[in-house]
Amino acid sequence: MKLNKLITLLIIVVAFSFAFISCKREAPLTASIETGINTKATVQVYNATVKSTRNFLYVDGNKISGSTFAFGNVFPATAYAFKVDAGSRTFLIKDTLGSTTQPPLTFAETMDAGKSYTIFTYDTLNSIKQVTVSNDIEIPSDTTSRLRFANFIFNTTPVPAVDVYSSVFGNTKVFTNVATASVTGFIPYPSGKRDTLSVYATGTTSPLIIRLISTGVTPTRSYTTVYSGSYRATKSFALFNTY
């Protein structure tokens, strides 16, 4: 009798197991789909704030940067941008060191879906400021790239606007009369060619203020050059990938 009950119990367990396995096999094996991609904007931050050494970035109260980024650095360093939801966003850039003299920089920006933005911080550690520009991204249909120029040089008194000359264009002027705290639009630019970019005060070709030597950029990409630092001390002229 006990043997019959045991056999009956085993039959029920086996039948239930087959039914359970069958149900699992019938479940649809579909991967989850990420939605809302078209509602995002892409953003990058360039630090042109003289003497800043350890900035962190927050968006809507959430810490975005895992590590600090100092003067002359772009965030993110390993990609050209990060994504945020479209609409009004609150940005905070600050140094979390207790002894810092850099005030927190808080500002709001309205981001449009599908658009690209670059935030430039500038001035000095004690009076950090920012400018946000929309990046007019166009992908060339040929092998050229695109280039623009940003002027964020610091001085305690106003300094002249600048012109930029390019050797790859026969040492002709490619950006004209660019004032401090302003960013030009993009221009078509040859890729894969060594170039020397020279900065002069507007309307002059002497003395040379600073020079950047580029060994060549990637086809179809967009790049930004930044003139920053201290007008009376150490200057910087850098190039980074905008798209």
Nearest to 71 by CA among 241, 229, 211, 179: 229
* Cβ within 8 Å of residue 234, ≥6 positions away: none
Q: Is residue 77 part of a domain?
A: yes
Structural domain span for residue 174:
138-243
CA distance 74 to 22: 54
Residue 28: predicted pLDDT: 35
Same domain, 94 and 190: no
For residue 120, count other CB atoms closer than 10 A to its CB. 24
Q: pLDDT tens for residues 53-111?
A: 999 999 999 999 989 999 999 999 988 899 999 999 999 999 989 899 999 999 999 99
Q: Looking at the 3D structure of the chain, how many domains does it have?
A: 2
Please provide the average confidence, as pLDDT, over all residues in the chain: 88
Same domain, 127 and 182: no
Can you give the pTM of this predicted structure?
A: 0.83
Residue 17: predicted pLDDT: 43
CATH code of the domain in which 188 resides: 2.60.40
Q: Is residue 93 part of a domain?
A: yes
Nearest to 228 by CA among 187, 165, 178: 178
Same domain, 131 and 211: no
Dihedral sign from CA coordinates of 171, 172, 174, 177: positive
Same domain, 127 and 152: no
Q: Rounded to the nearest 5°, which phi and psi values hold at 39?
A: -95, 5
Same domain, 143 and 242: yes
Q: Is residue 26 part of a domain?
A: no
